[in-house]
């Protein structure tokens, strides 16, 4: 299917661009599991899923705000600023959708060995955590940047 092909093409690029390369994800989860007897990988995946959903809700509200603002703006500079911000929010939403892939790596891509499966799951959870925190920072900055745009719009 075309959608699967696009996802499989983009996913390695996203992993390469967004991966946190200074920390070993397996060692991270090994330390957590040694400290407490909890399945931290699945706990993190559930937590990231819930937080990503909340952030997507915020982004949806910002789409509405940007849409209302853009409909009332006659100034070309403000239209460009609103359009750029809208595109940045779309990019953020696309990144968060990567965090909502519920099952992690497709089952057909999982290795047969349980230790290797754990390694794949740990890397997936760590990647999602990295994506979430980077997108959270981006959305925070975009939302803060919208304040002066609204002020300028009110003054113009």
**Residue-by-residue pLDDT tens, the chain, 156 positions:** 676 777 777 777 777 766 665 567 776 566 556 544 447 777 888 889 899 999 999 999 999 999 998 888 888 888 898 999 999 999 999 999 888 876 555 555 656 676 777 777 788 888 899 999 999 999 999 999 998 888 888 887
pLDDT in the model for residue 55: 96
pLDDT in the model for residue 151: 87
Distance between CA 44 and CA 122 in Å, rounded? 10
In a domain, 150, yes or no: yes
Domain that holds residue 75: 39-155
pLDDT in the model for residue 150: 85
In a domain, 30, yes or no: no
pLDDT in the model for residue 132: 94
Ramachandran bin of 73, using left for φ above 0, alpha for ψ from -120 to 50, beta for the remaining angles? beta
Question: Which residue in 98, 147, 140, 128 sits closest to 20, CA to CA?
Answer: 128
Instruction: Look at the chain and report how many structural domains it folds into.
Output: 1
In a domain, 128, yes or no: yes
Question: Which residue in 150, 149, 132 sits closest to 54, CA to CA?
Answer: 132
SS3 of residue 44 by DSSP: helix
pLDDT in the model for residue 94: 92
pLDDT in the model for residue 37: 43
In a domain, 61, yes or no: yes
In a domain, 116, yes or no: yes
In a domain, 15, yes or no: no
In a domain, 74, yes or no: yes
In a domain, 26, yes or no: no
């Amino acid at each position: 299917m075309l959608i699967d092909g696009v996802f499989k093409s983009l996913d390695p690029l996203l992993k390469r661009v967004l991966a946190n390369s200074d920390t070993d994800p397996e060692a991270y989860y090994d330390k957590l599991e040694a400290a407490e007897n909890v399945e931290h990988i699945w706990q993190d995946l559930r937590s990231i899923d819930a937080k990503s959903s909340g952030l997507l809700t915020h982004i949806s509200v910002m789409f509405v705000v940007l849409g209302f603002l853009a409909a009332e703006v006659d100034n070309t500079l403000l239209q460009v600023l609103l359009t750029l911000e809208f595109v940045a929010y779309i990019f953020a939403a696309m990144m968060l959708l990567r965090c909502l892939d519920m099952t992690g790596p497709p089952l057909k891509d999982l290795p047969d060995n349980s230790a290797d499966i754990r390694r794949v799951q740990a890397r997936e959870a760590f990647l999602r955590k990295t994506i979430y925190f980077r997108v959270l920072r981006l959305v925070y900055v975009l939302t803060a940047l919208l304040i002066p745009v609204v002020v300028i719009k009110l003054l113009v």
